[in-house]
Amino acid sequence: MKFLTSDQIYDIHLATLDVLEHTGVNVYESAAFNLLKDSGANVDEKKMLVKIPPYLVEEAIRKSPRGFTLYARDPKYNLRIDDRRVYFEPMIGRINIIDLETGIRRRTTLKDLEALMKLANALEYYHILHSGAMMPHIEGVPDSVAHAYGYLAGVRNAEKVVKGTGRGKDKARDCIRMATVLAGDEEELIKKPNIFTTCNPISPLQHGKEQTEGIIEYGKHKLPVDIASEPQAGATAPITLAGLLVQQNAEVLSGITIAQLANPGTPVVYGTCGTIMDMRSALIALGTIETGLINVATAQISQYYGLPSRGTGGATESKILDIQAGYEKALTLLMTGLAGINMVFYPGVLEHALTICYEALVIDNEICGMIHRVLHGIDVEDATLATDLINKVGPGGHYLRERHTIKYLEKEQYMPKLSDRQTREIWEERGSKDLRDVAKERVRAILKEHQPTPLDKDAEEMLMKVLKEIEERELKIKLR
């Protein structure tokens, strides 16, 4: 799926270079500011404003890898991030959750995080796991150590790739240290990165101190950094989508420039959380069709630069799992997948991505499965054309008992686990359950039956030691 022509992408590129050279970006982290200054950017130290010449931006793009591999605790979940490979990343770490039993929204606890990670680990169309490490608050856990508890809850309950935080130097180092325990040592971590992070520029045209520290800390170890801008059309970006894309491009490319100046060759991901502000409510609207448009354009721009991409799909403004949630999730996930975004973020959430929902995780997984079938397309070859078989069966026959049907069934047809395709009579005999009821049953079954491989005993002990040291450090800071 494409909406921009090659000429239009080039126009966006030229407009972006103009903005970066003549207007610039605020960079509030001193090390990054000085890197840009020492590399030839024009700076205003009083305003922490940096005007970046085109050659610095284009050199940073050239130094950025075209792709990279993320290594999971279980090697079968290793991922190659490049080209148009599409992976789905459910948004586990949300401050609110819909209680599985009561259906009431409440604060997310550590126990919830453990269950959510276990659930996402079992769901086959989720490949990369956002984790509690990204949460500023976990109910019942001090905020100063929530990132460490959240990351540990992730790696204990999942064998897939788990994201760490980059929100501040110390927190970034903590997650990297814990990932090093899992890798074995620092050299092995650099060789086979098992962690990555997201750093968000602040629209319009700003790089905050903590997030930029994250870019530099992960960059020191050549760990992948997803630099994802979050512009809202009409509020923190121009209301025109073309204008939003120019500003977003300036924010992301300036972040990539910082990453490459900090450590050339750092793997980066060109990211977007771009969408619109709903002008009637003055709220962010993540499930809109414009979100889909922005993601498709972002995929095209990242592909123009030859960089891996990250986008959004599966968010909704609905507060419950209703028809609105269904069409907003399905449309944005499908458009993002068809565009070839490498890492698709947001499955599992409700109400502006403020709330995570157990049932939404399994429903969105089913949508992602359908999209994988779409991306596979239609194979046309002698065996699938089935000319000999058609001639054999002939007029009035059927294909139910043919070996060809059994051989190609699973490859050709996606088999949903939740969707009901029975007659009304059978549906009524089985309890007339709506989709949320079916999803709730599946959640309970997975949490009861699925057992991720436990952490190695020595790794578990080391991680607990690191966690204790982080708690002691934060206590000393608090007591100063």
pLDDT at 254: 98
Q: Are residues 331 and 353 in the same domain?
A: yes
Q: Are residues 44 and 137 in the same domain?
A: no
Mean pLDDT score of the chain, rounded to an integer? 97
Percent of the chain with pLDDT over 90: 99
Q: How far apart are the first and last CA of the chain?
A: 56
pLDDT at 215: 97
Domain end residue (candidates: 351, 376, 401): 376
Confidence tier at 80 by pLDDT (50, 70, 90): very high
Q: Are residues 54 and 153 in the same domain?
A: no
In a domain, 418, yes or no: no
Domain end residue (candidates: 343, 376, 409): 376
Structure confidence by residue, pLDDT tens digits, 351-372: 999 999 999 999 999 999 999 9
Q: Are residues 74 and 151 in the same domain?
A: yes
pLDDT at 11: 98
Mean pLDDT of 296-305: 98
In angstroms, the CA 472 to CA 466 distance is 10
Examine the pLDDT at 224 and tell me if it is beyond 90: yes
Report whether the peptide linkage leading into residue 204 is cis, meaning its omega lies within 30 degrees of zero: yes
In a domain, 338, yes or no: yes
In a domain, 453, yes or no: no
What is the residue range of 143's domain? 66-376
Examine the pLDDT at 93 and tell me if it is beyond 90: no
CATH number reported for the structural domain that contains residue 71 in this entry? 3.20.20.480
In a domain, 459, yes or no: no
Confidence tier at 44 by pLDDT (50, 70, 90): very high
In a domain, 441, yes or no: no
Mean pLDDT of 419-429: 97
Q: Are residues 18 and 49 in the same domain?
A: yes
Q: Are residues 58 and 70 in the same domain?
A: no
Total-model pTM: 0.96
Examine the pLDDT at 241 and tell me if it is beyond 90: yes
Q: Residue 81's CB: how many other CB atoms inside 10 A? A: 25
pLDDT at 387: 98
Q: Are residues 300 and 223 in the same domain?
A: yes
Q: Which residue has the tokens 């490979």?
A: 85
pLDDT at 480: 83
Mean pLDDT of 3-7: 98
Q: Are residues 267 and 347 in the same domain?
A: yes
Sheet holding 197-199, edge to edge: 87-89, 343-345, 309-312, 268-272, 225-229, 197-199
Structure confidence by residue, pLDDT tens digits, 201-210: 999 999 999 9
pLDDT at 338: 98
Q: Are residues 157 and 25 in the same domain?
A: no
Percent of the chain with pLDDT over 70: 100
Q: Number of structural domains, the chain?
A: 2
In a domain, 445, yes or no: no
Q: Are residues 145 and 31 in the same domain?
A: no
- Tell me if 328 sits within 8 A of 367, measured CB to CB: no
Q: Are residues 112 and 258 in the same domain?
A: yes
Q: Are residues 125 and 213 in the same domain?
A: yes
Domain end residue (candidates: 346, 376, 406): 376
In a domain, 28, yes or no: yes
In angstroms, the CA 372 to CA 49 distance is 44
In a domain, 458, yes or no: no
Measured in whole angstroms, the distance separating CA 71 from the mean position of its chain's CA atoms is 16
Structure confidence by residue, pLDDT tens digits, 245-288: 999 999 999 999 999 999 999 999 999 999 999 999 999 999 99
